[in-house]
A and B are shown apart, each in its own frame.
Chain A
Amino acid sequence: MSDGASAIEDVQAAGTGAGGSWHEAWNAFRAGRGALVGMAIIATLLLAALGADLIAPHSPIEQARDAALTPPAWRADGTRAYLLGTDELGRDMLSRLIHGTRLSLAIGFVSVALSLLVGVPLGLVAGTFGGWTQVAVMRLMDVMLALPSLLLAIAVVAILGPGLANATIAIAIVLLPHMVRLTRAAVLEEIAKDYVTSSRIAGAGPWRLMFSTLLPNCVAPLIVQSTLGFSSAILDAAALGFLGLGAQPPTPEWGSMLAGALEFIQRAPWVVTEPGLAILVTVLGFNLMGDGLRDALDPRLRR
């Protein structure tokens, strides 16, 4: 996503990087055009999610039976009242999409937060203590990684039962091994440095060492992985919703909207296209921002 102009900006950013490493990172982030686009997309989505009740022209579950499958407004037979048309039950597509943003972002946030909450301590413990602790934790994570992510999610939902909350937990479990591995790798890199030894000489115990000395130095890759984890969480949530294992009707979740409208794909293509596009744009936004953050925060890629 970077071109000649941003490369020059990059050099300038490196040259003037006197105001702290976060300032430097922001300059590097700003230099990538894709990252800014991603951030703009995410900001828009965030606004839509927060203000859904104010922005949405209709209720997401209110059914206008006489207006079922109304085409979008730009088509000759469309109407201004339903800008993006209606679905098979006469619910306003635009309103459902806006409310769906709220769900998708919530699923992404909660599942990433859950996997961080469990994964980071596990990774810290594995990296700091080594030995059998590390073998136990890492082999378990390898087993989880060996299963295809969607299959694992489906298996977890099959055990817990379908529903939005259980789908979120399933996605958190799918994201977990990535967080653990990443944290451990960062710990192994940092723990050999002198400041850790110096902290141990000063009498820091293993817990203080992990959370207070090591963790702040490991956040950069975790921020990147969390952003990218957001997009795969949203995608997985949509997949689970499509399979009927995630959000249940009439919840306006993008994946389940896709599933419900599948039979109308020829008569009313917008009912399928619009949620699909919403998923695409959201995932693209998070991936762009994740890549931008990686470029900005990972010193090996910056040089």
Chain B
Amino acid sequence: MTAATTTTRTPDPLLQIDALRVEFGPAASPLVAVDDLALHVDEGEVVGVVGESGSGKSVAALATMGLVDPPARIAARRLRFAGVDLLAVGERERRALVGKDLAMIFQDPLASLNPCFTVAFQLTEVLRAHGSSAERASARARRERALQLLRQVGIADAEARLDAYPHQLSGGMAQRVMIAMAVACRPRLLIADEPTTALDVTVQAQILDLLMQLQARERMAMILISHDLALVAQAAHRVVVMYAGRIVEAGPAAALFDAPRHPYTRALLDALPEHNVGRARLQALPGVVPGRDDRPRGCLLSPRCAHAVQRCRDVDPAVLCADGREVRCHFPLARPGANDA
């Protein structure tokens, strides 16, 4: 049933999530933020996660790292990272593992740096906890490495920036510092949660370039969470489309964007301004993501889907797998435009 199978599956992926579910609120009528999520990331692979606001992208990432606190409820059949079962390890081991091998970048760079401390302090703090033995032992080695990291992420006049406070940095520079902190301990997986959303368009491109360079050089795996389809299409090897807490479609980036199989993916692509040149109005998907009280019985997209029939409204579709792609739909689109009205 669950979609943990693809043709490109390797014996032991770096991160493997199976049937992850995150709920908030009362147990009787919970708000399901993430539902039956299956995802795997191989070493060195870039996986894009796209979806509207509120589709559970960020919550899924945080839940994976054990950072969603009670009263939220998290359940999963499997949650493995780097060969360790995250469901079974204790708090202390999880912190040691996650702190070193897993790093995360957030949307708002200025809010993700502690306003009370200098750049150097925050960088060396990470190194003191998870750095090499030389770095853990010597403050000078840590400062040296911090400087090198700042140069690596392309900060001009890195020497002077070491002693700057976050409020003295611009948004782009702060995001570079965040990236430096994230890659300081050479993580095996980097989760970038909308890393460019809060930045200027020109800076966006630079930051994405930097991320992709670091990713390629360090061979780290990356989960790129975004609602910017263009960005994901550019950067990701594989793409996962989320809707209302579920994965509705997954597959290799090029194939998925060329020929979307799920009507939701299709609608997202159709809503891009680039696909609407010459039209009077932008095509939009009517309606909103279902909330706690109006979750449909059948397919979650059925109230908004142009192709929905009675079966869609009654029966929740299972995940169909074919030639390396997964789609959660009763009637997957065959070719681009084939099912168009």
Q: Secondary structure of the A side of the interface?
A: helix
Q: How far is the CA of A130 from the CA of B71 in the complex (A)?
A: 10
Contact B114 A203 (CB under 8 A): no
Contact A202 B129 (CB under 8 A): yes
Decide yes or no whether B130 CB sits under 8 A from chain A. yes
Determine the residue in chain A with the shortest Cβ distance to B185.
A202
The verdict on A203 contacting B99 (CB below 8 Å), with A195-B114, A197-B67 known, is yes
Decide yes or no whether A217 CB sits under 8 A from chain B. yes
- Chain B residues, CB < 8 A from A193: 111-112
Contact A203 B112 (CB under 8 A): no
Of A194, A203, A205, A213, the residue contacting B106 (CB under 8 A) is A194
Decide yes or no whether B311 CB sits under 8 A from chain A. no
Decide yes or no whether A200 CB sits under 8 A from chain B. yes
The verdict on A199 contacting B114 (CB below 8 Å), with A20-B165, A21-B167, A205-B95 known, is yes
Of A20, A131, A200, A213, the residue contacting B114 (CB under 8 A) is A213
- Chain A residues, CB < 8 A from B100: 203
Chain B 105-133 interface mask (CB, 8 Å, partner A; 1/0): 01110011111110000000110011000
Of B70, B92, B113, B168, the residue contacting A195 (CB under 8 A) is B113
Contact A203 B116 (CB under 8 A): no
Decide yes or no whether B320 CB sits under 8 A from chain A. no
Q: How many residues of A contact B (CB 8 A)?
A: 20
Q: How far is the CA of A184 from the CA of B106 in the complex (A)?
A: 25
Decide yes or no whether B102 CB sits under 8 A from chain A. yes
Decide yes or no whether B96 CB sits under 8 A from chain A. yes
Q: How far is the CA of A197 from the CA of B92 in the complex (A)?
A: 16
Chain A 103-138 interface mask (CB, 8 Å, partner B; 1/0): 000000000000000000000000000110000000
Decide yes or no whether B285 CB sits under 8 A from chain A. no
Q: How far is the CA of A202 from the CA of B95 in the complex (A)?
A: 7
The verdict on A203 contacting B67 (CB below 8 Å), with A195-B114, A198-B104 known, is no
Query: How many B residues are at the interface, by size bracket?
Result: 20 to 34
Contact A202 B130 (CB under 8 A): yes
Decide yes or no whether A201 CB sits under 8 A from chain B. yes
Decide yes or no whether B75 CB sits under 8 A from chain A. no
Contact A203 B96 (CB under 8 A): yes
Contact A197 B106 (CB under 8 A): yes
Determine the residue in chain A with the shortest Cβ distance to B70.
A131
Q: Secondary structure of the B side of the interface?
A: mixed
Chain B 1-29 interface mask (CB, 8 Å, partner A; 1/0): 00000000000000000000000000000
Decide yes or no whether A216 CB sits under 8 A from chain B. yes
- Chain B residues, CB < 8 A from A198: 104, 106, 112-113, 178, 181
Contact B112 A201 (CB under 8 A): no
The verdict on A203 contacting B98 (CB below 8 Å), with A131-B70, A195-B114, A216-B116 known, is yes
Decide yes or no whether B207 CB sits under 8 A from chain A. no
Q: How far is the CA of A203 from the CA of B65 in the complex (A)?
A: 11
- Chain B residues, CB < 8 A from A131: 70
Determine the residue in chain B with the shortest Cβ distance to A194.
B112
Contact B102 A201 (CB under 8 A): yes
- Chain B residues, CB < 8 A from A204: 95, 129
Chain B 58-89 interface mask (CB, 8 Å, partner A; 1/0): 00001001010110000000000000000000
Among A194, A197, A217, find the residue whose CB has the most chain B CB atoms closer than 10 A.
A194
Decide yes or no whether B103 CB sits under 8 A from chain A. yes
- Chain B residues, CB < 8 A from A203: 95-96, 98-100, 129-130
Chain A 214-253 interface mask (CB, 8 Å, partner B; 1/0): 0011000000000000000000000000000000000000
- Chain B residues, CB < 8 A from A200: 67
Q: How far is the CA of A201 from the CA of B192 in the complex (A)?
A: 13
- Chain B residues, CB < 8 A from A213: 114
Determine the residue in chain B with the shortest Cβ distance to A195.
B114
Contact B165 A195 (CB under 8 A): no
Of B108, B126, B167, the residue contacting A202 (CB under 8 A) is B126
Q: How far is the CA of A216 from the CA of B167 in the complex (A)?
A: 15
Q: How far is the CA of A40 from the CA of B100 in the complex (A)?
A: 52
Contact B115 A217 (CB under 8 A): yes
- Chain A residues, CB < 8 A from B65: 201
- Chain A residues, CB < 8 A from B168: 18, 20
Q: Give 16 A-B contacts (CB < 8 Å), ordered by A residue.
A: A20-B168, A21-B165, A131-B70, A194-B106, A195-B114, A198-B113, A200-B67, A201-B99, A201-B104, A202-B125, A203-B99, A203-B130, A204-B95, A204-B129, A216-B116, A217-B115
Not counting A198-B112, A216-B116, a sample of 16 additional A-B residue pairs whose C-beta atoms are within 8 angstroms of each other reads A130-B69, A131-B70, A195-B113, A195-B114, A197-B67, A197-B104, A197-B106, A197-B112, A198-B104, A198-B113, A201-B65, A201-B99, A202-B99, A202-B125, A203-B95, A204-B95
